Amino acid sequence: MGWYTFGQMLHAIELGQVAEAADGERRMKLLPEGMVWLNGPYAGGVVRVQGYLFSDLWTIREDDPFEPALEERANWKRKQMEMLENQLFEQRARRFESPNIEEKTE
R_g over Cα of the chain: 20
* Confidence at residue 5, expressed as pLDDT on a 0 to 100 scale: 95
CA pair distance 66, 53, nearest whole angstrom:
24
Mean pLDDT within 12-19: 91
Q: Where are the domains of the chain?
A: 6-96
Q: What is the pLDDT of residues 19-60, one digit of tens each?
A: 999 998 999 999 888 999 999 899 999 999 988 888 899 999
Q: pLDDT of 89-105, one tens digit each?
A: 999 888 888 776 666 66
32 to each of 29, 56, 101, how far by Cα in Å?
10, 24, 44
What DSSP element (H or E) covers 90? helix 70-96
